Structure 1
Amino acid sequence: MASFFEKRDPWGHSLSLWVVVLMIFVTPVLFGVLREIRQENNVENWLPPDDPQSKVLQWHRDSFGIEDRVLVSWDGSSLTDLRADRLKQSLLGQKDAKGVRRGGSPYILDVATPQDAIQKMVDYHIDPDEAERRLKGVLIGTGMLKVRLSPAGKKRREQTIQELIATTKRELGIDLTVKPAFTPWVEMVDETEEGTVTDAPVEEPDEDQVDFKALVEAIPEHDFQLIWPRMQAHSKQADQIKEIALSLRRPEILVGASTAADQEAKSDQLGEEPKLIEDCFFAIGTPIAVAISLSDTGDADHASAVAAIKTAAVDAGIPAENLHMGGRPVAGAALNRMVKESSWNTAYPLWQFHKRSVTLFSGLIGIALAFLMLRSVRLACLVLLVSYYTTFVAVSIIPMTGGTMNMVLVVMPTLLTVLTLSGSIHVANYWKHAAHVDMKTAVVKAVEMARAPCMMASLTTAIGLASLLTSPLSPVRDFGLYASIGCVVSLLMVLYGLPSLLQLWPAKPPKASEIDTRHWQAFGRGLSRHQWLVSFSCLAIFVAACYGFKWFRTETKVIRYFPDSSRVIQDYLFLEENLSGITPVDTVICFDEKAQEDLNFEERVELVRNIERKIAEHPEISGTISLADFRPVSEPLPKDASTFQKLRHAKRVNETERRVRESLKKEKSGEVNLEGDTVKSFLNIADHTADLEQETANGARMVDIQKGDEMWRITAQVAIMTDLNYADLTNELNQVTQSVLRDHAGTTHLVTGTIPLFLRTQQAVLESLIKSFGLAFAVIAVVMMVLLRSPTAGLITMLPNLMPIGVIFGLLSWMHVAVDIGTMITASVALGIAVDGTLHLLTWFKIGIEEGKSKSEAVAAALGHCGPAMWQTSAVVAISLAMLYPAELLLVSRFGILMCALITAALLADIIFLPALLAGPLGTLIVNSQKREQKATEKHPLLQEGKESKPHLSHVVKRAQSEQSFET
C-alpha cells in the first residue's frame, strides 16, 4: 500500500501540498481566536465547589458578606494623619444634598479607617486608649523597635549604634537597620497660595470626638528606631535584641571590670550611669492601615481596582514610593502582570533581551541550538517552524474552548515547543540517514522509521499529562487537558507537518561524517562490558536520592512565586513587620437556640471576647477583631443582687440585643449606608440549615448549622511571609476555642478563611502528585509490558524512567525545597519525556536482536542510531528551558530549571542506565520473549508470511551504514 506521501490528488499534486495549505489557511483564524485569551489566577477557585473546605468558605462568605479587601499603609502614617480620611473620600466620593455619594470609584465598596473604628468604639463608651489597643495588629501597628539612649549613650550616639549593630550581628546573626525616630505627620500649608484662608473660625470641639493627637503624643520619646528582616514585636528575636541593647555599657567605665558585679561596683564608685541605652520598646500608634473592600466590579478586575487605589493615594498626598499594599487582590494583580511580563517586559531595554522576554529568549536559544545540532539551516528552520506552529495551534485551543490562561498554563507553550522539537529532531535524523541513501524516498522511509517510536512516545507523554486530570486543582486539570491535546497536535505535526514541508522544500543530503556514529557504538560496547557496575551504581544513586522523600513537603502560597526584590514582597514585609499579618483566619462561634436561652446576649459577648483573647495570645497572630471589641466589658451581676437589679439588668441586656438585631436586619435589607453599623461583618443569624465538614487533628468532624443559630465571627491576622506550619496553627485554634466552649452546651465552632484553604490546597497538591504520577506510571508500565511481551521486562524498563523523577525530587527533598503547584506538574511531564528516549532505544535494540546480533552489539547499534538524536534533543530542550531561570515569576523560573534537570537526568538514564540493563537481565528477557514470539510465528505460516512481506525498518539504516563503510 502506498504511503501518504507517495499519493497524489486528482490533479497530480502531492498530498503534502494540501497539508501545508491547511496550515496556512487556519493561521489567521487562530490569530483572531488567540487575541481573546484571558487570565485567571484566583487561588480560591482552584478547589472544586464540592470540596468540603470550599463549601465551608463559601458558606462563611455568604453568611458574613465578606468581600475581597486590600490593606493599605504608608511610611510615617499615624492616627493624626489626615491623608487616611482623604484617601477614603477619594475612593468613596462625596455626599450630595440627598446623601448619595458622587464621584467615587466603581471598584470600591467600602473603606474602613482606624480613626472611624476607634470613634465607633468610643461611641459605645470604650476608652480611646483601650480602643487603640483593641485595634493593635489589625489596623494599627507597633512599628519598629524604638530605642531611647541614656545620657551616656547620647554623648556617643554613633558609636553606640555601631556597637549595637555589631553585637547583634555577632551574637544573633541578625542585620539591624537603623531608622530615624518617629515624628507625627504634619501637613505643609502654603500660606501664599491664593484662596488660603488663615483666619478661619475654629469650631468648638465635640466632647465625644476622639483626641487622636493625644493618642499619638502618648508614644514615648526615643532617639531612633530599629528594624530587621521578618521582625515580629512579640518574637524571641525581639526579646534577645532588647536584652543586647540594654546590656551595652560605656567602655571607659568598664576598664578594669571583668565581671558584671565589678562593672556595677565600678560604676557606683564613679557615680555614673553605665548603660548606653536606657530603654527599648514597641509602641502602639504607628503605622496605621486602611482596609478597602472591593465591589463586584473590583473583584472582577483586580488590576484596575489596585490602580484606582494607587491613584487615589497619590491624590490624597501619599507619595507612590511610600505606599504599601497587601491582600489577595494585590497579589493576584501582580501575578497576572508578571505572567504577562514573562512574555514581554517593557521595563527592560532590548539589549537585555534575556530579561525583556524570557520565553522568547528561551525560544531563540532553541533556534540557535537547533541550527548547531542539525548542521543544516533549512532543516533547522523546518524543525523550528513545526515546533512553534504546534505551540501556536495548541494555545489557540484554550480560548476556543472557553478556557483561561493561569499561572500553570503559562509554561505549556514552552513545554509543547520542546516536546515537538524533540520529535522533530528524531524525524530529522531519520531523514538524514535515509537521504544519505536516496533523496527521492527519504521522506517516506523517515516516516516509516519514526512512526512507531514517535507515536508511542507522544501517546505515553499524553498519558502522563492526561493523568493530571485526576487532580482536584483546576489549574492542574486545565494543564493536563490542554497539554495532552497539544501532544496529539504535536504528533500530527511531527508525522505529517514536518515530512510535508521536507517533501516540498527538501534540505541538502547530509555528508557521511554527519551520520558517523562509531563513537556512540564504542560507548555502548563499553557500557556492556561494565553492565553490573553501571547498573548497581545507578540504582545506588536512585535509592540514596529517594531517601530524601522523608522530608517531602508542599507549598501553595501565591506570594512565594514572587522574588524577594519585587515590590509586592517588599510591601508585604513592611506590613507584616510593622503593622499586621496579611492573611486572615476566621473562627466562627455558633450558638443554637438552647445556648441562646442559657446565655443572655452580654454573656455571649463575653464568651466570644474570652475566646478572642485566647486566640490573640498565639505568638503568630498579630491581632484579632470581633463584634465584642465594639462593646464595653460587661460586669457580671452580683449573686446577691436584688430582684429589681436583676430585672433592670435583664431589660438592659434585652434592649442591647434588640438594637443589634434591628441593625442586622437593616444591613441585610440594604437600608444602612456606608457609614452605618457593620454588625453583619461580625454577627449573623443563620437563615437556612447547613451540614459542613471541618478538618481537625483528630480527623474530620461534622458541624450542623440550624436555622436561627447565632453566629459570631472572630478574625485573626496571620503573617504569610513566615514558615509557619498552618496545620499546627489551625489545630491550635481549634483546641483553644474548644477549651472554652466545652462547658457550654449548644455551642460549636468552625475555623475557616484563607489559611484552611491553603492547607486543603497543599493536601490537594500532594494528592495530585501521587495520583497523577501513579496513574501515569501504571498505564505506561502496562504499555511497556505489552510492547516487550513480558511483565517483568516492562517493570525493569520503567526503572530508567523513574530514575530522573526519583533523583531530582529526592534531591529537592534533601535540600528541604517545598514542591509548589508548578513543580508538581513536572513529575508526570518528565515521565512522558523519559519514555520518549526509552522507546526509541528499545525499538532499535529489538531490531538488532531480530537481525541476529548479540545483546552487546544490539546495544551498540541502538545507541549508534538513537544516541545522536537523544543527545541533540535533550541538549536543545534542556538548555532552552534553563533559559527560563532569569524569569522574575518564580513559578516559571523553577519550572524551567527543574525541567532542565529532569531532562538531563532522563538523558543520562536513557544512554547509561538503560543500555546497561539491556546488556544484562533486561536484554535477556527481551531476547527470550522474541524467541518465544518467533517460535509461535513458525507454527503459524500465515503469520510468518505476513511478517516477511512487511518491509523491515532497519533496511534503510543497513544500507546507509554499508554506504558509509564503502566510502570509508
Structure 2
Amino acid sequence: MASFFEKRDPWGHNLSLWVVVFMIFITPVLAGVLREIRQENNVENWLPPDDPQSKVLAWHRKSFGIEDRILVSWEGSSLTDLRAERLKTLLMGTADEKGIRHGGSPYIQEVVTPQDAIQRMVEYRIEPEEAQERLKGVLLGTGMLKIRLTEAGKKRQEQTTQELIDKAKSELGLVLTVKPAFKEWVEMVDESEEAETIKEPIDEDEEQVDFKELVASIPAHDFQVSWSRMQPDAELTNQLKQIALSLTRPSILPEPLAASSEEKTDSTPLVQPTLIEDCFFATGTPISISIALSNPGDADHGAAVDAVKAAAFKAGIPAESLHIGGRPAAGAALNRMVKKSSWDTDYPAWQFHKRSVTLFSGLIGIALAFFMLRSIRLSCIVLLVSYFTTFVAVSVVPLTGGTMNMVLVVMPTLLTVLTLSGSIHVANYWKHAAHVNIKTAVVEAVEMARAPCMMASLTTAIGLASLITSPLSPVRDFGLYSAIGCLISLLMVLFGLPSLLQLWPAKPPKASEIDTRNWQKLGNALSRHQMMVSLSCLMLFAVSCYGFKWFRTETKVIKYFPDSSRVIQDYLFLEENLSGITPVDTVIRFDKNAQDNLNFLERIELVRKIQSRIEEHPEISGSISLADFRPVSEPLPEGASTFQKLRHAKRVNETERRVRESLESGTAKSFLHLADREVVLEQETANGARSVPVNEGDELWRITSQVAIMTDLNYGDLTRDLNQVTQSVLRDHAGTTHIVTGTIPLFLRTQEAVLESLIKSFGLAFAVIAVVMMILLRSPLAGLITMLPNLMPIGVVFGLLCWMNISIDIGTMITASVALGIAVDGTLHLLTWFKIGIEEGKTKQEAVAAALGHCGPAMWQTSAAVAISLAMLYPADLLLVSRFGILMCALVTAALVADIIFLPALLAGPLGSLIETSLKKEAAADVPLLQEGKATMPHLQHAIKRAQSEKTFET
C-alpha cells in the first residue's frame, strides 16, 4: 500500500501540497480567534461549585451580601488625615439634596473609612478611645515599634540607634529599618496642584468625634523601627523590646566622684544609665480604607484598582506611598504578570529576553535546533512546525469558550518544546534515510518514526489528560487543552513536517553527522557494568523518595509573586503596620430555642465573648462584628426589682427593634442575617465532616477576623483552633452552633485538592502507561520494570524538593504527569530499536549498543533543546511560570539520564532477557502458521514488519 507521501491528487500534485495549503489557509482565521482570548485567575473559582467548601462560601456571601473589597492605606496616614475623606468622595461621588450621588467611579459600591466606623460607634454611646481600640487590626494599625529615649539616649541618639540595630542583627537575626518619629499629617496647600479639596456636608445633629485628640494621645517618641514580617504580639517582638530596654551607656563614675578622681575607692559604684526609656506600639496610625466593588468592578478587577490609584493621586496621596491589598488587587496584579510573561512592553525590544520570557524560551529551543541539526533549512522547517502547532493549540482555548489562567499560560511553551522534540526525532530519522537515498527519505523517515512517535505522543497525552481528574479548574483546563495540543503536535510531526520536507527538501547530511560510534561505546560500557549502574540508580531513587515524608503543598496566590514585586511590598506594609489581609469568618447560629433562652443583649454579649477569645489567637490581628457597634451590656443583677426588670426588657426590645430595622441597610446587614430558607451545610474539620443545619428564622451572626497571608501559618491549625475556641463558648448554650468559612478554609480545601490532584492524576497516568508498556512488550513483569526509568525522574526531583522543604504549588504539581509522558518518549524510541536488534539475532549487549547508537543523538538533542528552553523561563517575574520552567528542566534532564543510563543497564540485564524471551516465543508462534498458510493478517503484518525492520537497520 502506497504511503500518504507517495500518493498524488488527480492533477498530479503531491498530497503534501494540500497539507501546506491547509496550514496557510487556517492561519488568518485562527489569528482572529486568538484576539478574543480572555484571562481568569480567580482562586475562588478553582474548586467546582458542588464542592462542600464552595457551597458554604457561596451561601455565606449571599446571606451577608459580602462584596469583594480592596484595602487601601498609605504611609504617614492617621485619623486626622483629610485625604481619607477626599479619596472616599472621589470614589463615591457627591450626594445631592435627594441623596443621589453624582460622579465617582462605576467600579466602586461602598467606601468605609475608620473615621466613619468610629463615628458610628460613638452614636451608639461608645467612647471614642474604646471605638479606636475595637478597630485595631482591622481598619486601624499600630504602625512601627516606637522608641522613646532617655536623656542619656538623646545625647547620643545616633550611637544608640546603631547599637540597637547591631544587637537585633547579632542576637535575633533581625534587620531593622529605622524611620523618624510619627508626625501628624499637615496639609500643605501648594504641595500638589493635583490634590482636590472635596468635602462632604457635615450633619450638625451628629456628635462629632475629635480625631485630633485621638491622634494627640499617641505617646511621644524619638524614632520608629520595623522589620520583615513584624507582628506586635509575637515572641520575637517581645525579645527585641527586652534588648532595647537593656541598652546602657558605658560605665561611668557618679558625678560627685568624677570631679575628684583621687576620692575613688574600690567600693565606689559605677553608674550605667539606660538609653531607651520605653518602646511600644500605638493604635491610630496608619489607617486603612475598605472599598467594596460594584458588579462592574468585580468583573474587571484591573480597572477597579486603576480607578482607586487615580483617585488616590487626585486626593494628594503620592503613588510611592500608596499601598493596596485584598483579593481583587492580587488578582489584578496576577493578570498583569501573566500577560507580562508573554509580552512585557515595559522593556525595550532589544531586551527581548525580558520582554517575553515565554517567546524567548521558544526561540532558544529553535536556536538549539539549528545548532544540533546543522542545517538551516531543516531547522527552519522544525521552527515553523513547532510554532504553528502552538498557534493552533492555543486557538482551541477561545474556540471552545475557555479562558487563559496562570497555569494554562505555560502551555504554549510546553507544546513548542514537545513538538520540537518530536520534530528533531523525525529530522534525525530523515537524515539517516537521506544519507542513503534523498528521494525516498521522507517516506522512510515517517515509517521509522510513526510507531515510536505515536506511542510517545499518546502516552504524553495520557499523562496530560490524567489532570482532567483534578477538582481544580485551572489544572483541568491545562490537562484538557495540553492533551489536545499534544495530538495536534503528533499530526504536525507526522504530516506537517514531512510535507514541508517533501516540498522543500534539505541537503543530505555528511557521513560525520550520523556517526554514532561514541554512543555505541557507551552502550557497551553500560552493558558490562549493568549490575553496578542499575543498583546505583535504584539507590538514588530510593534515597530521594524518602524525602516525600516532608511533602507539603501551597496554594496562596500571593506566593506566586517575587519579593521585589510591588504587590508583595504592599502586602508586607499592610500586614506589618496595619492588619492581616485575609479574612476568616466565624458564623454563630442561634435557632428558635436559643433565641427564647437568650435575649437579644445576651446574644450580643455571647458573640462578643467569642470574638474576644478569637482575638487572643496570635495569628489574628483583629476582628469585627455587630457587637463592636454596641456598648457592653451588664447582665440584670440577681434580686432586681420589678422596675429594673421592666426597664431592662424595654432596652432589650428597643435594641433588637433598631438592629432588625437596619438589616436592610446600614451596619447590621453585613453582620447579622435572618435565615429565610432551610439549608444543610457540610464542613470538614479535624475530627471529620460535620453537618450544620440552618432553619428558617435562625439568627446568623458573623465575626470577621483578619489573618496574615505572608506568613507560613498552617491554615489547617488555624481553622481547628477557631473551631475549638468557638465550641468551648457555645457548648453551654443549647440551640447554638457555628461554622468557619471565608477565604482561609477555601485555601485549605484547595491545598487538599492539589494533593488529591497530584496523587490521582499521576496514579492514573502511571497505570495507563504501565498497561500500554505491558501490551507493547507482551510481558507484565517487563512492563513494570520498564516503568522504573520513567518513575525515576519524578521520584528524584520531587523527592529532593521535599528534602529541601520546598512546597508543591499548583504550577509544580502539573509537571509530574507531564514529565511522566515526556520520559516515556525516549523509553519507547530506545525499546523500539532494542527489539529490532534482538529480532535480527543480536545479543543483548549488541542490541543495547545499536539502539543507543540510533536513538542516543536524537534523545540528547531533544532533551537538551527542551530542558534548556524551559530553563529560560526561570527569570520570569511570575514565580509559577519560573518554577514550572526550572522544574521541567530538571525533570527532562533526569529523564535523559534515566533513558541513556538506567534503561540501557536494565536492558542489558533482566529486562532485556524478558523482552528477548517474549520475542522468541512470538517468532516461534508465527513460524508454523506461516508454513501451514494459516497465518492471520496480524501475523503476516508482524512478519513483514520484522523483515522491513531488519532491512532498515542494515541500511
Q: TM-score range by the shorter chain?
A: over 0.9
2:949 is aligned with 1:954: yes
Report the Cα distance in structure 2 between the residues aligned to 1:689 and 1:938, rounded to whole angstroms: 75
The Cα offsets for residues 815-869 of structure 1, whole Å up to 9 and x where unpaired, read as 0000000100000000000000000000000000000000000000000000000
2:589 is aligned with 1:557: no
Report the Cα distance in structure 1 between the residues aligned to 2:228 and 2:17, rounded to whole angstroms: 64
Partner of 2:738: 749
2:772 is aligned with 1:783: yes
Letter paired with 2:752: Q
CA shift at 1:774, angstroms?
Answer: 0.0
Give the SS at the match of 2:435.
helix
Partner of 2:662: 663
CA shift at 1:190, angstroms?
Answer: 4.6
CA shift at 1:939, angstroms?
Answer: 3.0
1:226-305, aligned counterparts within 5 Å?
226-253=225-252, 274-305=273-304
Partner of 1:350: 349
* CA 467–254 in structure 1, closer or farther in 2 if over 3 Å, else same: farther
CA shift at 1:254, angstroms?
Answer: 8.8
Is residue 368–residue 865 contact of structure 2 (8 Å, CA) maintained in 1? yes
Report the Cα distance in structure 1 between the residues aligned to 2:36 and 2:192, rounded to whole angstroms: 54
* CA 841–209 in structure 1, closer or farther in 2 if over 3 Å, else same: same
Is residue 79–residue 114 contact of structure 2 (8 Å, CA) maintained in 1? yes
* CA 897–254 in structure 1, closer or farther in 2 if over 3 Å, else same: farther
2:689 is aligned with 1:708: no
Give the SS at the match of 2:252.
helix
Report the Cα distance in structure 2 between the residues aligned to 1:98 and 1:283, rounded to whole angstroms: 41
* CA 953–713 in structure 1, closer or farther in 2 if over 3 Å, else same: farther
* CA 953–589 in structure 1, closer or farther in 2 if over 3 Å, else same: farther
* CA 228–956 in structure 1, closer or farther in 2 if over 3 Å, else same: farther
2:757 is aligned with 1:765: no
CA shift at 1:189, angstroms?
Answer: 2.5
* CA 746–191 in structure 1, closer or farther in 2 if over 3 Å, else same: closer
1:384-403, aligned counterparts within 5 Å?
384-403=383-402
Letter paired with 1:752: T
The Cα offsets for residues 742-771 of structure 1, whole Å up to 9 and x where unpaired, read as 000000000000000000000000000000
Partner of 1:607: 606
The Cα offsets for residues 230-261 of structure 1, whole Å up to 9 and x where unpaired, read as 00000011101100000000014399xxxxxx
Letter paired with 1:475: P
The Cα offsets for residues 28-51 of structure 1, whole Å up to 9 and x where unpaired, read as 000000000000000000000000
CA shift at 1:168, angstroms?
Answer: 1.0
Give the SS at the match of 2:446.
helix
Report the Cα distance in structure 2 between the residues aligned to 1:268 and 1:66, rounded to whole angstroms: 71
2:709 is aligned with 1:720: yes
Is residue 448–residue 953 contact of structure 1 (8 Å, CA) maintained in 2? no
2:488 is aligned with 1:493: no
Give the SS at the match of 1:143.
coil
Is residue 582–residue 744 contact of structure 2 (8 Å, CA) maintained in 1? yes
Give the SS at the match of 1:691.
strand
Report the Cα distance in structure 2 between the residues aligned to 1:269 and 1:81, rounded to whole angstroms: 54
Is residue 338–residue 406 contact of structure 2 (8 Å, CA) maintained in 1? yes
Give the SS at the match of 2:684.
strand
Letter paired with 2:889: C
Is residue 449–residue 953 contact of structure 1 (8 Å, CA) maintained in 2? no
CA shift at 1:350, angstroms?
Answer: 2.8
Identical positions, percent? 77
Letter paired with 2:352: F
Partner of 1:104: 104
2:682 is aligned with 1:693: yes
Letter paired with 1:327: G
Letter paired with 2:5: F
Give the SS at the match of 1:721.
coil
Partner of 2:531: 532
CA shift at 1:271, angstroms?
Answer: 9.2
Letter paired with 2:2: A
Partner of 1:374: 373
The Cα offsets for residues 696-731 of structure 1, whole Å up to 9 and x where unpaired, read as 110110100011100000000000000000000000
Letter paired with 1:954: S
1:523-602, aligned counterparts within 5 Å?
523-602=522-601
Partner of 1:509: 508
* CA 854–12 in structure 1, closer or farther in 2 if over 3 Å, else same: same
1:135-174, aligned counterparts within 5 Å?
135-174=135-174
Is residue 885–residue 894 contact of structure 1 (8 Å, CA) maintained in 2? yes
Partner of 1:859: 848
Partner of 2:41: 41
Letter paired with 1:408: V
Partner of 1:114: 114
Deviates more, 1:686-695 or 1:780-789: 686-695
2:310 is aligned with 1:321: no
Is residue 69–residue 290 contact of structure 2 (8 Å, CA) maintained in 1? yes
* CA 828–192 in structure 1, closer or farther in 2 if over 3 Å, else same: closer
CA shift at 1:952, angstroms?
Answer: 4.0
Letter paired with 1:339: V
1:355-366, aligned counterparts within 5 Å?
355-366=354-365
Partner of 1:739: 728
Q: Give me the TM-score of the superposition, normalised by structure 2.
A: 0.96
Report the Cα distance in structure 2 between the residues aligned to 1:296 and 1:738, rounded to whole angstroms: 36
Deviates more, 1:162-171 or 1:730-739: 162-171
Report the Cα distance in structure 2 between the residues aligned to 1:16 and 1:207, rounded to whole angstroms: 84
2:820 is aligned with 1:831: yes
Is residue 254–residue 266 contact of structure 1 (8 Å, CA) maintained in 2? no
Report the Cα distance in structure 1 between the residues aligned to 2:839 and 2:179, rounded to whole angstroms: 79
Report the Cα distance in structure 1 between the residues aligned to 2:879 and 2:898, rounded to whole angstroms: 28
CA shift at 1:191, angstroms?
Answer: 12
Is residue 149–residue 277 contact of structure 2 (8 Å, CA) maintained in 1? yes
Report the Cα distance in structure 2 between the residues aligned to 1:414 and 1:154, rounded to whole angstroms: 60
CA shift at 1:192, angstroms?
Answer: 14
Report the Cα distance in structure 1 between the residues aligned to 2:266 and 2:681, rounded to whole angstroms: 67
CA shift at 1:10, angstroms?
Answer: 0.5
Partner of 1:935: 924
Report the Cα distance in structure 2 between the residues aligned to 1:756 and 1:366, rounded to whole angstroms: 42
CA shift at 1:949, angstroms?
Answer: 3.7
* CA 910–271 in structure 1, closer or farther in 2 if over 3 Å, else same: closer
Give the SS at the match of 1:939.
helix
Is residue 338–residue 409 contact of structure 2 (8 Å, CA) maintained in 1? yes
CA shift at 1:951, angstroms?
Answer: 6.8
CA shift at 1:932, angstroms?
Answer: 1.1
Is residue 253–residue 267 contact of structure 1 (8 Å, CA) maintained in 2? no
Partner of 2:424: 425
2:897 is aligned with 1:920: no
2:849 is aligned with 1:850: no
Report the Cα distance in structure 2 between the residues aligned to 1:466 and 1:253, rounded to whole angstroms: 77
Letter paired with 1:686: A
Report the Cα distance in structure 1 between the residues aligned to 2:713 and 2:756, rounded to whole angstroms: 21
CA shift at 1:948, angstroms?
Answer: 3.8
* CA 191–622 in structure 1, closer or farther in 2 if over 3 Å, else same: closer
**Structure 2 residue runs without a partner (length 5+):** 255-263
2:796 is aligned with 1:813: no
RMSD: 1.9
CA shift at 1:589, angstroms?
Answer: 0.1
Partner of 1:435: 434
Partner of 1:645: 644
Give the SS at the match of 1:405.
coil
Deviates more, 1:947-956 or 1:47-56: 947-956
CA shift at 1:582, angstroms?
Answer: 0.2
Report the Cα distance in structure 2 between the residues aligned to 1:211 and 1:270, rounded to whole angstroms: 50
Is residue 253–residue 271 contact of structure 2 (8 Å, CA) maintained in 1? no
Report the Cα distance in structure 2 between the residues aligned to 1:31 and 1:708, rounded to whole angstroms: 56
